[in-house]
Structure 1
Amino acid sequence: MPFKPPERAICPKCGKAVYAAEEKIGAGHKWHKMCFKCDLCNKMLESTTLAEHEGKLFCKGCHGRKFGPKGYGFGGGAGALSMDTGERFGNKECEMANKPKGFTGGDAGTGPKCGRCNKSVYDAERAIGSNVPWHKTCHNCAICHKSLDSTTVNNHDGEIFCKSCYGKNYGPKGYGFGGGAGTLSTA
């Protein structure tokens, strides 16, 4: 009986024989070490960091961006909201498939509107201490843009001001009503 060499595994990525010294095992196949990388970002993979989809290998991050659930609340881990689509790695197929028909951007929310920008204010972005809904980023003085809280905010005609700017523009005027710290104002 003639000697028959053992059959070599074929790398699914490059189609060449894989020898024992250069093999990586994952997704039910043997791969070359240099072929065992993410198809999008080219990150080298380990058996614990790979995700397989239709015979292709991906790191878990790229696999999640390309094939995972899309939309608000589906983040990149640790409870984070990830807006990274992977486009810099050539991923063009990750556009949110469940986007409402006819949606062109802007504010489609039906919740309470911010007193400054008039866009929907969701609980996670709402400024605390105000009865009127404001985004945290919009809850600042209309004049000097100093950040405000419930103890420093002053309302006037639907706009908010810090105590100092409110006093200068809408407070009492004349002798004895200064801008603070003993100043004398005759305006």
Structure 2
Amino acid sequence: MSEPAAVCYKCNEVIKQRIITALGKTWHPEHFACKDCLRPIAESTFNIQNGEPVCSDCFVRNYSGTCFGCKQPIIERTIKAMEQSWHEECFVCAGPCKKPLVGTSFYERDGLPYCRIDYEQLFAARCAGCAQPITENAIVALNAKWHRDCFKCKRCTAAITSSSFAVEDNQPLCPACSG
């Protein structure tokens, strides 16, 4: 018993010579064509759109997104973040470290992603005592923000924990040193 003849998906004719098998169908080589430009697909790789073959050129032109980072077409995996599309390798911290951010939490500022460390170094409020970023609760006094541990008496360096303190040269003084 012989195998049933292969029939071309496009023209419904029996395929007598070379057969292309793709997408679960058989095709004459000249009928395995891009659904958009209608040119035969000769490459070994192709794209699929709505179950139909699409050549690489048409896929890039008609279906691929553009990476927000490098402005080039996205043909492989797309990262969606901050209402934008990115290549996986382009979704990195916009700060000095340039670390990959795929699969991690990140901060956004002016439409750009940042890792926590760079975000804090670049944008967090700075302590008036030590000049380091303030990432937790702060004391607001003397028109500035302070780490709790940095809000100290200018003279004796004791932590000021009371709500009343004196001021000398725009620095806090504890009640004992101001008296």
User: Shorter-chain TM-score: what band?
Assistant: 0.3 to 0.5
TM-score between both structures, scaled by the size of structure 2: 0.40
1 or 2, which has the higher strand percentage? 2
Instruction: State TM-score, norm by structure 1.
Output: 0.38
Quick check: which has more Rg, 1 or 2?
2
